[in-house]
């Protein structure tokens, strides 16, 4: 995907959401969309209305206020940009039964060109004291004028309800601050049938966008000035020094001042023709994307449903993806920190968005065989795998890194081709497996005070294979392990020590298949081979580990498991409370010397 395509698609996607918001925001920037209290059923018509608002210019060839007490002169006075009264004061006094704008043209400069949005059949109804009951537009067309690549778009019906014009005017034109009270500026916005086309043929379609309960807080620099400054700054690829700091501060203040109750985007499709001598078209679709507030205050929840991607590189399908506990608070902190001075790259991770949990539902990936251009004989075979469900929960972050996490997955499946040359798959094929089906979990937590990582549960289960479960404690893990400098964190890991470890194996068929395979190769009965393995374990393990009572008990337990596979449980704990470090293992003259420093228990059932 080319850079222009990526940029064009990103702008198109953002434009779709922005247009939905614009339907509500337009009246705030068009102070003529109001009238005083409905005293009589009079109409006022105005021609060639032009209103410059910073970098944005609004043009309405004709505008009509119906059911209003305003005179023509009063309406003209309201539209005067040099009027002495603040916009919100004027809007708060105006009412009309409806305001009709057949054609509304919105122009905004962008990189030496002009972005133009033309809305038609705009009607605002039930305007009382500057509050609009409903605002509708029959549709809109989007173009970019001036030299450069073409880009275009169109919208179907747009509507908004419960629009607070004085509140919007205050946000866009008046300063506030962190302690300013939030203003609910609209109850809902809907945009339908959105079609956007990039300069290189990429096409984005959205069936519907619904947003509700948008609130805003007046910021230190008014919204209008902040948006203009950020838009101008976006044209500079790498703003430096004071300018970069200023823009970071503006972005933090503006983002912190916006709150949306909910967002739903449905029927999303994307198609890109691909470029180069060999076209590589990409098609993607998403049935539904929603955002709402979660159970934790200040955290959001994003859910995507029905994702499908098809490209020459492969196919991906995903029934559901949920991001919970999503918070931009660290991002805002990072922007404010950047406003005070340059950021060290090592600090960046602590300012990543906070995320509590990622959950997947029914993932299916199909990758075709790939030939190597340098070596046609060295080609990778096709790969297809699926996941019924999976979740990663993260908490207690330190400098952007979670110190407690729990990964669970169920139904990680893939076929085992009979002619596979991959190391693991080839071995499984030899054991008679035609498919792999795995489930498991990893639950771990770091204790800062104890300087320990506890493996509370590490479990892997294979269908028709068995289950392996590990628990344990690793000591010597201090805060230095989380240092953003790789050299510091790597050296800190060298001080880790093993304190305890417990392993449980439950046979579910894998061991027996292995025995059957080996017995056939050696022309033995499986029972005979198991007895040989059992004897080797009973005698060999104590011989290697020094012949202590614990070593003999371990050998006997392993022998019983081999002869009659069921459940094998082995636990080991360091006799030294500090545990055994890497130096202890590397300098030990024999495995038996290490084993003597452990308390080991083993049982077979």
The CA dihedral of 585, 588, 591, 595, to the nearest 10 degrees, is -80
Structure confidence at residue 472 (pLDDT): 96
Q: How many CB atoms lie within 10 A of CB 151?
A: 20
Residue 18 has what pLDDT?
36
3-class DSSP string for 299-365 = CEEEEEEEEEEEECCEEEEEEEEEEEEEECHHHHHHHHHHHHCCCCHHHHHHHCCECCEEEEEEEEE
pTM of the model: 0.81
Q: Is residue 481 included in any domain, yes or no?
A: no
Average pLDDT on 277-298 reads: 82
Rounded to whole angstroms, how far apart are CA atoms 202 and 4? Answer: 10
User: CA-to-CA distance for 362 and 604, rounded, in angstroms?
Assistant: 37
> Both tokens of residue 140?
């809109």
Go through the chain and tell me how many residues it has: 605
Tell me what percent of the residues of the chain surpass a pLDDT of 70.
Answer: 87
Find how far residue 471's CA is from the centre of its chain.
Answer: 31
Structure tokens at 577: 């409370």
Q: Calculate helix-pair angle for 526-545, 510-521, nearest 10 degrees.
A: 100
Give the Cα separation of 138 and 116 in Å (integer). Answer: 17
Residue 32 has pLDDT above 80, yes or no: no
570: helix, coil or strand? strand
Handedness of CA 592, 596, 599, 604 (dihedral sign): positive
The pLDDT assigned to 485 comes to 81
- Domain, as residue range, for 37: 3-219+257-280
Report whether pLDDT(559) > 60.
yes
C-alpha span between 40 and 493 (Å, rounded) = 80
The pLDDT assigned to 235 comes to 61
Residues 466 and 507 sit within 8 Å (Cβ to Cβ): yes
Q: Is the pLDDT of residue 12 over 60?
A: no
The answer to whether the CB of 296 falls within 8 A of the CB of 317 is no
| Segment 146-165 mean pLDDT | 86
401 within some domain:
no
Is the pLDDT at 178 greater than 90? The verdict is no
pLDDT in tens, 259-283: 899 999 999 999 998 766 667 789 9
- 242 DSSP 8-state letter: H
Q: Which residue carries 């002169």 as its tokens?
A: 73
pLDDT surpasses 70 at 377? no
Residue 365 lies in a domain: no
**Helix, strand, or coil (residue 435):** strand
- Residue 409's H or E segment, with its range, is strand 401-415
Mean pLDDT value across residues 155-178: 89
List, for residues 302-359, the tens digit of each pLDDT value: 999 999 999 988 999 999 999 999 888 888 888 888 888 877 777 788 888 889 999 9
Q: Give the side-chain half-sphere CA count within 13 A for 146.
A: 11
For residues 130 and 166, the answer to whether their CB atoms sit within 8 Å is yes
pLDDT at 588 over 90: no
Q: Is the pLDDT of residue 453 over 60?
A: yes
pLDDT of residue 117 exceeding 70: yes
Q: Does residue 138 fall inside a structural domain?
A: yes
Please give the mean pLDDT across all residues of the chain: 84
pLDDT at 276: 60
Residues 216-250: b if buried by 16+ CB within 10 A, e if exposed: bbbbebbbbebbbbebebeeeeebeeeebbebbbb
pLDDT band, residue 15 (cuts 50/70/90):
very low
Looking at per-residue confidence, does 588 or 234 come out higher? 588
Does a structural domain hold residue 75? yes
CB distance 470 to 460 below 8 Å: no
Mean pLDDT is lowest, of 14-28, 88-102, 179-193, 290-304, for 14-28
Q: Which of 280, 295, 320 is the last residue of a domain?
A: 280
pLDDT tops 90 at residue 169: no
Kindly state the average pLDDT of the residues 353-375.
Answer: 82
User: What pLDDT does 367 receive?
Assistant: 87
Q: What is the pLDDT of residue 22?
A: 36
* Joined tokens for residue 180: 């300013």
Helix axes 3-29, 165-173, angle to 10 degrees: 120
**For the ranges 140-144, 235-239, 480-484, which has the lowest average pLDDT?**
235-239
Q: Is residue 142 part of a domain?
A: yes
The model's confidence at residue 8, banded by pLDDT at 50, 70 and 90, is: very low
Per-range mean pLDDT, top range of 82-86, 465-469, 574-578 = 465-469
Q: How far apart are CA 114 and CA 146, in angstroms?
A: 7
**SS3 state at 591:** helix
Q: Tell me if 366 sits within 8 A of 385, measured CB to CB.
A: no
Is 367 domain-assigned? no
Number of domains in the chain: 2
Position 70 scores a pLDDT of 84
State how far the Cα of 383 lies from the Cα of 415, in Å rounded to an integer. Answer: 8
Neighbours of 485 (CB within 10 A): 11
Residue 583 parent element (H or E)? helix 582-587
More confident residue, 228 or 356: 356
Reply yes or no on whether the pLDDT at 571 is more than 80. yes
Give the Cα separation of 408 and 389 in Å (integer).
Answer: 8
Q: Is the pLDDT of residue 149 over 80?
A: no
Q: How far is residue 255 from each of residues 181, 248, 335, 561, 573, measured CA to CA in Å?
A: 15, 11, 10, 61, 51
Domain membership flag for residue 598:
yes
**Do residues 102 and 118 make contact, with C-beta atoms less than 8 angstroms apart?**
no
The set of residues, in sequence order, having a beta carbon less than 8 Å from that of 186 and lying 6+ positions away, is 24, 160, 161, 162, 163, 164, 213, 214
CB 293 within 8 A of CB 317: no
CA 152 vs CA 133, 136, 155, 202: distances in Å: 31, 22, 11, 11
Residues 381/418, Cβ–Cβ less than 8 Å: no
Q: Which helix (H) or strand (E) holds 290?
A: strand 282-293
Residues 382-413 pLDDT 10s: 788 999 999 999 999 888 889 999 999 999 99
């Amino acid at each position: 995907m080319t850079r222009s395509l990526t940029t064009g698609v990103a702008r198109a996607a953002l434009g779709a959401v922005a247009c939905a918001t614009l339907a509500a925001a337009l009246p705030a920037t068009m102070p003529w969309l109001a009238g005083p209290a409905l005293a009589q059923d009079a109409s006022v018509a105005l021609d060639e209305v032009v209103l410059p608002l910073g970098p944005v210019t609004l043009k309405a060839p004709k505008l009509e206020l119906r059911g209003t007490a305003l005179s023509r002169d009063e309406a003209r006075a309201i539209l005067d940009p040099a009027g002495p009264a603040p916009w919100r004061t004027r809007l708060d006094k105006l009412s009309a039964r409806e305001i009709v704008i057949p054609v509304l043209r919105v122009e905004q400069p962008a990189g030496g060109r002009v972005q133009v949005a033309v809305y038609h059949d705009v009607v605002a109804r039930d305007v009382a004291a500057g509050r609009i009951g409903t605002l509708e537009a029959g549709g809109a067309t989007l173009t970019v004028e001036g030299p450069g690549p073409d880009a275009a778009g169109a919208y179907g019906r747009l509507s908004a309800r419960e629009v607070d014009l004085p509140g919007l005017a205050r946000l866009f034109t008046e300063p506030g601050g962190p302690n300013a009270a939030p203003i609910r500026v609209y109850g809902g916005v809907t945009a339908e049938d959105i079609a956007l086309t990039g300069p290189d043929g990429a096409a984005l379609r959205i069936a519907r966008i619904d947003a509700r309960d948008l609130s805003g807080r007046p910021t230190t620099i008014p919204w209008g000035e902040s948006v203009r400054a950020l838009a101008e700054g976006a044209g500079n690829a790498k703003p430096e020094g004071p300018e970069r700091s200023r823009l970071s501060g503006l972005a933090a203040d503006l983002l912190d001042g916006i709150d949306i109750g909910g967002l739903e985007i449905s029927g999303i499709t994307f198609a890109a023709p691909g470029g180069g001598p060999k076209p590589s078209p990409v098609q993607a679709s998403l049935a539904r994307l929603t955002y709402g507030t979660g159970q934790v205050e200040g955290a959001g929840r994003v859910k995507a449903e029905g994702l499908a991607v098809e490209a020459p590189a492969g196919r991906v399908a995903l029934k559901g993806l949920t991001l919970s506990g999503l918070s931009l608070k660290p991002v805002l902190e990072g922007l404010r920190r950047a406003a005070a001075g340059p950021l060290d790259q090592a600090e960046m991770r602590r300012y990543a968005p906070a995320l509590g949990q990622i959950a997947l539902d029914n993932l299916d990936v199909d990758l075709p065989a790939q030939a190597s251009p340098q070596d046609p004989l060295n080609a990778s075979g096709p790969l297809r795998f699926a996941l019924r469900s999976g979740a990663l929960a993260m908490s207690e972050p330190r400098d952007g890194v979670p110190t407690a996490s729990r990964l669970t997955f169920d139904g990680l499946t893939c076929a085992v081709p009979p002619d596979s040359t991959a190391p693991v798959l080839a071995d499984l094929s030899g054991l008679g497996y035609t498919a792999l089906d795995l489930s498991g979990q990893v639950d771990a937590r770091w204790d800062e005070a104890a300087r320990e990582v506890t493996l509370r549960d590490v479990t892997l289960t294979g269908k028709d294979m068995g289950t392996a479960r590990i628990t344990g404690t690793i000591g010597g893990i201090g805060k230095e392990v989380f240092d953003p400098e790789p050299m510091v964190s790597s050296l800190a890991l060298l001080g880790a020590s093993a304190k305890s470890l417990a392993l449980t194996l439950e046979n579910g068929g894998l061991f027996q298949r292995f025995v059957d395979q080996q017995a056939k190769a050696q022309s033995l009965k499986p029972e005979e081979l198991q007895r040989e393995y059992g004897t080797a374990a009973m005698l060999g393990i104590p011989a290697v580990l020094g012949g202590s009572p614990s070593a003999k008990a371990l050998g006997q337990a392993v022998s019983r498991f081999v002869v009659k596979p069921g459940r094998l449980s082995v636990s080991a704990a360091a006799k030294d409370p500090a545990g055994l470090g890497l130096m202890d293992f590397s300098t030990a003259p024999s495995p038996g010397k290490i084993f003597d420093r452990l308390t080991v228990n083993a049982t077979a059932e």
